[in-house]
Structures are given as structure tokens and as C-alpha cells.
Structure 1
Amino acid sequence: MHPQAASLWRHPRWTLAILLASLGMLGPFSIDTYLPAFEGIARSTGATPVQLQQTLSGYLLGFAVMNLFHGALSDSFGRRPVVLGGLALFTLASVGCALSERIETLILFRALQGMSAGAGMVISRAVIRDLFPPDQAQRVMSQVTIFFGVAPAVAPLLGGYLYVHADWHAIFWFLSGVGALLWLVNWRLLPESLPPASVQPFALRPLMQGYSSLLRNRRFLLLVLASGVPFNGMFLYVLAAPTFLGQHLGFAPTQYFWFFVCSIGGIMGGAAWSGRLAGRIAPERQVRRGFSIMLAATLMNLLLNAFAPQHALWSLPLIGSFSLGWALMVPVVTLMVLDQAPDRRGMASSLQSAIAAAANALVAGALVPLVMHSLLGLALASAAALCVGLGAWAWVQRGNSPANTG
């Protein structure tokens, strides 16, 4: 923790949560806002379905690659400069997307968006742990997740409205305005939370050695997998939203927000529950409870997709229940991840985000195109993501057992 943590933020704690949530939401907001415009982008640019999917996978790949460096840069140069630089680049990349007339140009600027959008998400976690001890950090992390959930719920509604009443270019002009506004707000309010004693020299070789050390830390890797991979059990439905909602469920672009209301509502509910449980029950018990909810929702989703006619009345609430279980356990596991490198939390957060984003990019570019035309295929892919997370958490618990800790 920063030795002057109490004086760095004198406003109510929930206002810091809103500020950090606004940074964290930029990544998913940039995805959810333009999904309703896929059909218009295809008509305007002559893009194939594979090329449209590349606007997602290119974004996520850029997100994953640069996430390796956001946190490490913030460990060396401070949290504020990296956040402000990332927001400036995001704003310029959004302008590039808005001016794009060819699908290849759009893919390029989407990749630049992804490279810059992750800075706030990575660094906001480090800021929380810089300023608060574990129990308070979990509560703030939960508050951030609650506020974070508002934007993705609103994003598809705004995107659908802009697409219907203007065109798809207007969505990216809107995102450039969001980026500029966030830059101004964070320039005025974001504190520099990096403790002076924790400043690390930025050099590529020591950085790679640090990453190598973390990658050899089995507990770190298992915790990252336990928190990040199950997210794809819900996220693949987001990535497949134009097909899942438009073709399978028959939704119009302006109705996509019902899906996001359920999924983000689940995230907000789980995060609020997580904050209430902080310090009241053992962290491991809270994680098990979250996995139990995800497992129950997954089994029901598989059964209904296999034997019942498709219907939004049960499809969307089950995705929301899965999201609730994930949000209940992820603040706890994220703090466990950061505490694996207490002197370089920015680097730990970077590597966690990079691994998770690489998994997201793989799901977007390879898995979703294979399964999005089948509801049962989507359900099976979601179940597979959960199984990876469950297996990783079981391995963590095995390492914590008395037989392995003596």
C-alpha cells in the first residue's frame, strides 16, 4: 500500500469506484456498442462474415498484446501517465474507425483501439490494491464491478439507436467523445497511487525475467485461469450476439439491450453480493459458491438447449445467472492474483489481463465462428470454458491442502 493512501483520495470511496469503473468499462463498451451495427458495416464495406469477426478478434488481440506492458509501464512511470496516454490513443483510434471506409482500415484501427483500451482496466486494479488493505480492496473491487456493469448494459442500446438513426460511423464518433471525456476527467481527478518505494526501472530484460518468474508460478497461472477462462462462458454469447440474438432469438438491433440487461445485471448482482460477503466468510468459500452457481446455470443451459425449443425467456436469465456466479468469485480471485507479486502489482495485473484477453481473442477468432450457428454448440462451448476454470480452481485448492502445505 501507498504510505499516504488515506490522503490520496479524500472523497467517498464509491466515487473512486465510479472513476475506476469508467476506466475498466472502456474495453467492453467498445465491443458492445458496435455489435448492433454489424449488418450495416457489412453492407457499407462489402465485408464478409469472417472479416467482420476479425474486427472483434483484431481488437482483442491488440488488447492482449499491449496488456503485457500497461501494468509494467505504470510500475515504472506511474499510474496516471499510462492511463492518460492510453485514453489519448483510444480517442485517436476511435476517430480512425469513424473515418474508415474499407473493412481493412477498420480492422487496423480496431486493433489500435484494443491496444489502448486495456490500460485503464489493468491499472485500475493496481490502484485499488495500492490504496486499500485486502478486505477494503475486495469491497472497492466489487463496487467497481457494479458500476462497471452499467455501461455495457447501456452500450448496445446506444449503439442500436445510433445505427438506426444515423449510421455505423456515428458509433465510433461517439466512442471518440467518450475517450476524450474520460481523459479530461482522469486528468483532473485520478491520483498517483504508485508508492515511491515501488517504482521499478523499465528495462525489457528484467521485465521479461519478471514475466518468466510469474509464468513459472503455478499458483499464479491457475488463479488466472480460474478467474479469466470462465468469463468466456458468458462472453462468447456477447461475441456471437448478432447471430445469437438476431437469428436464433429473432431480436431487432434495438432489442439487443435485453440480453445485456440480463448478463450485466447478473454481473452487478454478483459483485454487490461479493462486496457484502467481504470479510464475513472465507474467500475460498465465496469462490466455491460462485462456481456452484455457474455450474448449475451451465447444466440447465445444456439440458434446455438439447431438449427444449429455443426461447429468450429461459436463454437470457440462464446467461445472467452464470454471470452472477462469475462476478461473485472474481474479485476474490483477482486479489489473490495481485498478491502473488506484491512489489509489482502492475506487472501481475498486466499478465493476468493479457492471458485473459488472449483467451478472449482465441474465442472470438476461432471458437465463436465454429459454434455460433448452433445454440447447443454455444452451450457446449460455454460449458467447456467453465470446466477449465473449475479444474484450475480445484488444482489451487489441492495445493492448499494440508498434505501439500507442510
Structure 2
Amino acid sequence: MPLSAPASFAGKSRMSPQTAMIVVPLLLAGLSMLGPFSIDTPFPAFKKMGADLDVGTDQMQLVVSAYLLSFGLMSPFHGPLSDAIGRRPVILGGCAVFAVASIGCAFSTSLPMLLCFRVLQGLSAGGGVIVSRTVIRDVFEGPQAQRLMSRVMMIFGVAPAVAPIIGGFLLQVGPWPVIFWFLAGVGLLLVALVAVALPETHPVERRTPLAVGPLLGSLGEVSRSVRFHRVAWAAALSFGGQFLYIGSAPIFVIDLLGMGELDFWVFFIPMIAGVMIGAFISGRAAGRVSGRSLVTWSLLFAFGAAVLNVVLALLPTAAELPYAVIGPGLIAVGTAAAYPTLQLVLLDMFPRSRGASVSMFTFFALLLNGITAAVVAPWVTHSVFTLALGSAVLVLGGLLSWVWHLRRVPVPVPVGAPEPIEPTESL
């Protein structure tokens, strides 16, 4: 079923509804790509960066965790701020600061200096990555919102595959700082495109007061909801099983599989193909399959893939292609099929504070990913088997969180419709 933009949205954007439905998913996906581009593009340069900055492999992992932890710590505030002053100012400001921070990374001459600017990247990137998700739900409802969320994910899914390939190519034409000049250019391009093509989707009459009390109050309302935590951890933990591989990509590709700085595609292309297939399934299921059934079967598929991945890791061919990347690719199919619906469920729990809802979810997810990259990865990247086992544990945690949610909210709910509120269930 084709998507069409509401006339009011198309009018504000000075585009026809048909043009809006082509441009808007591309732009929102581009904003979401800031995250994976910031993480994955520098991967091929880790060895050269470590040599220039005189640090080892373990210390270079801080380049990933510094970004993720700062992104996670700031993520609770981007959404509520957009609830108060609108989506456009937060997106534009975040992308502009991200570009400045990327320039700082390019000029860094020591690891501490680089980490400071990576922290600034993480603090600012959420203005585009997080708030762009609320734009979809501001404008669209039900199956149409799920289709657009899935379409954005399909486009976004290309980023982790393309980013390290771009990083490897850039290393062939210049030293590692050229990667951060590229990221600065991406940030400035997004500023220009948002200024021209993306209208404000959060009208003044729906905004929350710009004051500390109401902003923190909306975050507190979300964070105290056990119902929110069940769904948020179902999404975060299941994706964590996939992200463990993404965050460990330099070790997985170079150390465990014995490949080079231009070979990241052998891992990322199967992984992102899985994301795109899963997102396609989600879009096709919208309006045809209930959201609960879609998430349940998708997470069961992801866990089955994780178990298969562990079995393959026990074989003598564990570190050979294609056996080493089959499991991660199939896990990505399951998590990507479930993710759009899980995000819409979270956004619909708090209709007047969607920014706060997506911010708190992103905070939990990014904090988990940061801990995974900084703490879990060093413990499970000794072999292909331990990495597969760690991934399976995380996917199982997501499935169990969703099963817990189903037991507490047993009434079937139409796709995209808010689930029954349980007023007594709070932390």
C-alpha cells in the first residue's frame, strides 16, 4: 500500500504529498545515520589512529564507548526539549554542534583530546538521531506510521555497511583525520537539508512548558512506568545482541577473522542485508499482522538465529566465511522486523510526551550499548564462540522482557494502537 503525506505536512514543507513521501524518509534516515556513521566510519582507521596517538587496541575501544556513553547520557534531554521548543530547533542545533565536534576530532593530537571531541559528538548527535523518530509519529498514525518507520529503517540500515567501507576508502586518499572531516561535512549537509525540506511537526499548542520542572516531570513519568521498561528492554536487549558484533567489529573482522582494514564489508553487508530484510517484513506486515504477533515471532526468530550462531561457532569453520557471519545476519532480520513496532508502542504510551518517551528509550539503549562496547566486549571477544554466546544471552534477555510484557498486557491490540494503560504499575 503506498504512503501519502497529510496535506498539512506537505503544505508546510512546500512539497507535494508524493514528493514529501520520497524526501522525508530519506532525510529522517539521514538524520538517524549520524549514529552509525559516527561509530563505524572510523573503524578501519583504528590501527593508524592508535599508532599516531601511541595507544593500544583496548584504549582505542574508548573512541567507541566515549561517544556511546555521552550520547546515552544526553539522550534523555533531546526529546523533552523538542517537546517544549519544537523539533526543528533541536535537530538543527544538534547537527551544527556535531559538525564542529567532528572538526575538533580531525585536529586532535592525543587520545584525551580526541575523546573530548568524541564526547561532544555524542552529546550533540542525538538532536538529529532521537528527535527525527518523533517526527514520524507527529504526522502519521497506525499502519501508515509503521510503514514509514520501516521504510526509514531500511534506508538507515545501509549506514553501518557503507560507513566502514567509506572509512577504508578515505584512508586510501588521506590520513585518518580525513574521516572526521567527512563527518563534519555530513553534519553541515544535514543542517542545510533540514532547514530547507523539513517543516516543524510539533505545533505550539501541543508543546510542554520550557521549564526544568515540566521537562524533568515528563522524564520521571516515563522512567517510572514498568510497562515502558518492559518494552524498552525488549527492544534494547534484543538489539544489543546485534550491536555486540557491531561494537566489536574491529576485533571480530581483523583479529578473529584475520582480515584487513578494507574487509569490513564481509561482516557489515550480511548484517545490514538482514536489517533491510527485517524492515521490509515489518512494512509488509503493517495492517496485516497484529503488532504483538509480529514482535513475538520476530524475537523468536532472532533467538533461534542466535542459537544457530552459537552452534556454528563450535564448528571447525567458526572463523571462516560465510559461517562466521550467517548468525549475525539472521539475528538482524529478527530484531529489525520487531524494532519499528516496538518504537511505535513506546511512542504511543505517552502521546503528549513522545519526545520524552523516545529519549528515555534511547538513553537505556545507548547506555546498554556503551556498557556492551566498553565492558562486555573485552570479555567475550576472545573467540568467535564467546562472542556468539554473549550475543545469544542478550537476545534471550530481550525475548524474555517481551514475554513478560505479553503476560501483563494479554489483550490483543490493533497495529499502531496504544496498549491498555496499567495505572497502578509504576516503579
Q: Same fold (TM over 0.5)?
A: yes
TM-superposed CA distance for 1:248, in Å, is 1.3
- 1:327, 1:284 → 2: CA distance? 15
2:99 equivalent among 83, 91, 95: 91
Query: Which structure 2 residues correspond to residues 127-206 of structure 1 after superposition, within 5 A?
Result: 127-206=135-214
Q: Percent identity?
A: 40
Matched, 1:44 2:52: yes
2:89, 2:6 → 1: CA distance?
A: 18
User: Is residue 379 of structure 2 the alignment partner of residue 370 of structure 1?
Assistant: yes
Aligned to 1:67: 75
C-alpha contact 1:3 1:195 (8 A) present in aligned 2: no
CA distance in 2, matches of 1:239, 1:142: 23
TM-score, length of structure 1 as denominator length: 0.96
User: What is the CA-CA distance between 1:49 and the residue it aligns to?
Assistant: 2.5
**1:329 corresponding residue in structure 2:** 338
The equivalent position to 1:386 in structure 2, one of 372, 395, 405, is 395
Residues 8-45 of structure 1, C-alpha deviation per residue, up to 9 Å, x if partnerless?
45324132111100000111111110011110011000
Equivalent of 1:302 in 305, 310, 314 = 310
Match of 1:254 in 2: 262
Equivalences for 1:170-319 in 2 at 5 Å?
170-310=178-318, 311-319=320-328
Between Structure 1 and Structure 2, the one with more helix by share is 1
Query: Could you state the TM-score of these two structures normalised by the residue count of structure 2?
Result: 0.91
- Is the 8 Å Cα contact of residues 2 and 193 (structure 1) preserved in structure 2? no
Unaligned stretches of 5+ residues in structure 1: none
Which runs of 5 or more structure 2 residues have no equivalent in the other structure? 412-419, 423-427
Q: Indicate which of 8, 21, 26 corresponds to 1:18.
A: 26
- Please give the secondary structure, in 2, of the residue aligned with 1:37: helix
Please identify, of 57-66 and 156-165, the stretch whose mean Cα deviation from structure 2 is larger.
156-165
Alignment-derived partner of residue 113 in structure 1: 121
- Residues 56 and 364 in structure 1, CA contact (< 8 A), matched pair in contact too: yes
| Matched-pair contact (CA < 8 Å) for 1:2–1:195 | no
> What secondary structure does 2:202 align onto?
coil
3-state SS in 1 of match to 2:201: coil
Give 3-state SS (helix, strand or coil) of 1:312's partner: coil
How far apart are residue 208 of structure 1 and its match? 2.1
Change (3 A) 1:173 1:333: same
Q: How far 1:6 sits from its partner (Å)?
A: 5.7
- For 1:337, give the aligned amino acid: L
User: Residue 250 of structure 1: CA displacement?
Assistant: 1.6
Give yes or no for contact 1:8–1:193 (8 Å, CA) kept in 2. Answer: no
Per-residue deviation, 1:230:
1.2
Instruction: Show the counterpart of 1:102.
Output: 110
Cα deviations by residue, 1:114-144 (Å, 9 ceiling, x for unpaired):
1111221211111000000121110000000
Question: Which of 289-298 and 272-281 deviates more?
Answer: 289-298
| Partner residue in 1 for 2:348 | 339
Query: What displacement does 1:324 show?
Result: 0.9
Deviation at 1:50, TM superposition (A): 2.9
* Native 8 Å contact 1:270 1:326 kept in 2: yes
Query: Does residue 398 of the first structure (1) align with residue 411 of the second (2)?
Result: no
Cα deviation, residue 164, structure 1: 3.3
State the distance in 2 between where 1:293 and 1:315 align.
Answer: 18
Are the equivalent residues in 1 in contact too, given 2:222–2:356 (CA < 8 A)? no
